[in-house]
Structure 1
Amino acid sequence: MKVTIDQDKCVASGQCVTAALDVFDQRDEDGIVVLLDANPPAHLADDVRQAAAVCPALAIIIEE
């Protein structure tokens, strides 16, 4: 799994961080998503998929 984010689309809702804390974080100054792990381990795959599904801006792209 490869994860990319589009920071320009991000609306800083924080849903991704809630779903996959080990993969996503937010910048302190504006809440925009920060990708911590572009190639997360298999045991986090479901969390990352959930994060992409709940992102209101569709800013998370997953390549399987």
Structure 2
Amino acid sequence: MILMILAPLVGVLGALLLSFGAWMIYPAAGYIAGGVLCLIWSWLVARKLSPEAQNSSGGE
């Protein structure tokens, strides 16, 4: 339940960090990396929590 709340929030935080890092270009390489990691984490958690991923039967 808590992951369903945190997943979108971490995704938004990742997007903000990525935008801020891109705005700062080179000195913000840490922000860019942190934002990408947050976005990937959010995407993986959302995939894991989706009911469709649990019921896949291989194309049928």
| TM-score (normalizing by structure 2) | 0.33
Q: State the TM-score, normalizing by the size of structure 1.
A: 0.32
Asked which structure has the greater CA Rg, the reply is 2
RCO comparison, higher one (Cα < 8 Å, 6+)? 1
Higher share in strand = 1
